């Protein structure tokens, strides 16, 4: 193993150990300082190291738990075969993979409560966006204009509403959740059909010429230098 790999593993291992130790406490104490201290004790991680890898304590563990689910979702997709599915079914499958990766519903419930707090809401929004970005990237999305944003924003709404429904779902094998998810995706497909009808209409397309011109100058972040910004506005070209 290379020195680089050893360094990466040594940096990641403490957080993973803390997360595993924390999960049994989250149901009782939430993603709190009490949970973080219990995780330190149970994992045997030095408190200084624990605070170094998780400066915000259990908040960082909650973030790590969400990202772990994203990784498991992608791993499951790669281990299967979605090539024969319709595209809308691929999206539904990815959302389902993501929810099924969260095998601790109470940890998700506590995380949802945590990231609903004003001081942590930006973290929650970023995590949901990251999940949906991972889904689109895994499915081969190549959009580099305003569609890059609308696809992720729309899927974020679908994903968020499905998570909330899933948290309260007591049906066998979460069958009601998957039906709910299918309905939400059908709603999105209807919106896409409406957009296509507007663009194909001689009258409506003229009305949308101005807004479409403005939107044509919105670019996906991959076209811009890495400045920590989500996108950009470009000036018109002659």
pLDDT tens for 185-229 read 988 887 666 555 545 666 645 544 555 445 454 567 754 444 444
- Regarding the domain delimited by 67-233, which CATH topology (the fold level of the hierarchy) does it fall under? Tetracycline Repressor; domain 2 (1.10.357)
Residue 34 has pLDDT above 90, yes or no: yes
Q: Taking 60 as the threshold, does the pLDDT of residue 25 lie above it?
A: yes
The H or E element containing residue 233 is: strand 232-233
- Report the DSSP beta bridge partners of residue 232: 219
> Residues 28-49, buried b or exposed e (16+ Cβ, 10 A)?
ebbbbeebbbbbbeebebeeee
For the stretch 149-189, pLDDT in tens is 889 999 999 999 999 999 999 999 999 999 999 999 988 88
What is the pLDDT, as a whole number, of residue 201? 60
CATH 1.10.357 boundaries in the chain: 67-233
Confidence at residue 187, expressed as pLDDT on a 0 to 100 scale: 85
pTM, to two decimals: 0.80
* Lowest-confidence pick of 15-19, 39-43, 186-190: 186-190
């Amino acid at each position: 193993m290379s020195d680089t790999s050893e360094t990466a593993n040594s940096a990641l291992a403490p957080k993973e150990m803390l997360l595993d130790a924390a999960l049994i406490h989250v149901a009782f104490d939430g993603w709190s300082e009490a949970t973080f201290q219990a995780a330190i004790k149970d994992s045997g991680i030095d408190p200084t190291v624990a605070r170094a890898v998780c400066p915000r304590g259990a908040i960082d563990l909650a973030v790590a738990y969400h990202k772990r689910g994203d990784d498991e979702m992608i791993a499951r997709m790669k281990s299967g075969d979605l090539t024969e599915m319709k595209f809308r079914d691929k999206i539904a499958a990815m959302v389902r993979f993501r929810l099924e990766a969260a095998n601790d519903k109470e940890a998700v419930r506590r995380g949802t409560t945590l990231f609903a707090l004003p001081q942590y809401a930006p973290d929650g929004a970023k995590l949901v966006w990251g999940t949906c970005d991972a889904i689109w990237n895994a499915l081969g999305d190549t959009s580099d204009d305003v569609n890059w944003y609308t696809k992720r924003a729309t899927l974020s709404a679908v994903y968020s509403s499905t998570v909330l429904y899933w948290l309260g779902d007591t049906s066998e094998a979460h069958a009601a959740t998957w039906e709910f998810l299918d309905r939400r995706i059908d709603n999105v497909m209807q919106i896409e059909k409406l957009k296509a009808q507007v663009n194909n209409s001689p009258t409506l397309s003229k009305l949308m010429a101005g807004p479409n011109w403005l939107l044509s100058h919105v670019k996906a972040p991959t076209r811009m230098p890495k400045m920590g910004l989500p996108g950009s506005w470009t000036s018109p070209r002659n």
